[in-house]
């Protein structure tokens, strides 16, 4: 049986209920909803939690990391598509779920993860599912992925307390950096647009993500 299709609590019917709930919660972009109906979220988490994959909640993966709440993924993806990007850099691959959603919607996705074990697992899943336009590597997110720059948009799924300067340098003029910012008590999703004169920042929703940490973990 095709494991991407799922059974029981991971079936297409269960996914469809998630999509209906997202629509009720204000997610309107049909392309985002279609991508989230297609990508098998249950494959991006431990099998023991797969039956909860389509609940609207963040769930733990390994190494103290989480797969984000579906509504947060959908909302961030809606904001991404409003910029009409062709080439995206994601900071914080984690489970790989957000990158997989983006890979259904844009031409190229590059994703950096600081924990090598998560990088390898996500890469195997991308290959298994045929998401060949999504590339991932192990690295320090603060450094971005300079060799593939510039990017139309950079999205981060971890929260720094200040804007990482190297990421701004890897954006095109007119490009957008979309990321949570703040500490472990209060965070805002911010949209930062790079202009000829500098940057323009717009505060969006209140969110809560894991902290944006430096360094690389091999184990």
The residue range of the domain holding 164 is 59-207
Tokens of 5: 């299709």
Dist CA 84 CA 197 (whole Å): 22
- Is 68 a known active-site residue? yes
Q: Is residue 132 part of a domain?
A: yes
Dist CA 81 CA 61 (whole Å): 27
Q: Is residue 48 part of a domain?
A: no
Q: Is residue 156 part of a domain?
A: yes
Structurally, the chain folds into a number of domains equal to 1
Q: Is residue 96 part of a domain?
A: yes
- Provide the residue-wise pLDDT of the chain in tens; the chain has 219 residues: 445 555 456 677 888 999 999 999 999 999 999 999 999 999 999 889 988 999 989 999 988 888 889 999 999 999 999 999 999 999 999 999 999 999 999 999 999 999 999 999 999 999 999 999 999 999 999 999 999 999 999 999 888 988 999 999 999 999 999 999 998 888 999 999 999 999 999 998 888 888 888 999 997
Read off the CATH number of the domain in which 65 is found: 3.40.50.150
Q: Is residue 91 part of a domain?
A: yes
Q: Which phi-psi region, left, alpha or beta, contains residue 209 (left: φ > 0; alpha: ψ -120 to 50)?
A: beta
Q: Is residue 13 part of a domain?
A: no
Catalytic entry in 68, 95, 111, 206:
68
Nearest to 42 by CA among 25, 18, 24: 18
pTM confidence score: 0.91
């Amino acid at each position: 049986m095709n494991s991407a299709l799922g059974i029981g609590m991971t079936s297409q019917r269960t996914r469809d209920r998630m999509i209906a709930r997202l629509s009720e919660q204000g997610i309107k972009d049909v392309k985002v909803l279609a991508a989230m109906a297609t990508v098998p979220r249950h494959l991006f988490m431990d099998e023991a939690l797969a039956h909860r994959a389509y609940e609207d909640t963040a769930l733990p993966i390994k190494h103290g990391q989480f797969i984000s709440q579906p509504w947060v993924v959908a909302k961030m993806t809606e904001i991404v598509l409003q910029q009409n990007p062709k080439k995206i850099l994601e900071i914080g691959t984690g489970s790989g779920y957000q990158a997989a959603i983006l890979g259904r919607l844009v031409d190229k996705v590059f994703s950096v993860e600081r924990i090598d074990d998560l990088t390898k697992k996500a890469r195997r899943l991308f290959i298994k599912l045929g998401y060949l336009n999504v590339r991932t590597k192990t690295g320090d997110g603060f450094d971005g992925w300079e060799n593939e720059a510039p990017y139309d948009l950079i999205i981060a799924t971890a929260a720094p307390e200040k804007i990482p300067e190297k990421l701004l340098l890897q954006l095109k003029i007119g490009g957008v950096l979309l990321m949570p910012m703040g500490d472990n008590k209060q965070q805002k999703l911010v949209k930062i647009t790079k202009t000829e004169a500098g940057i323009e920042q717009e505060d969006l929703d209140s969110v809560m993500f894991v902290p944006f940490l430096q360094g690389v973990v091999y184990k």
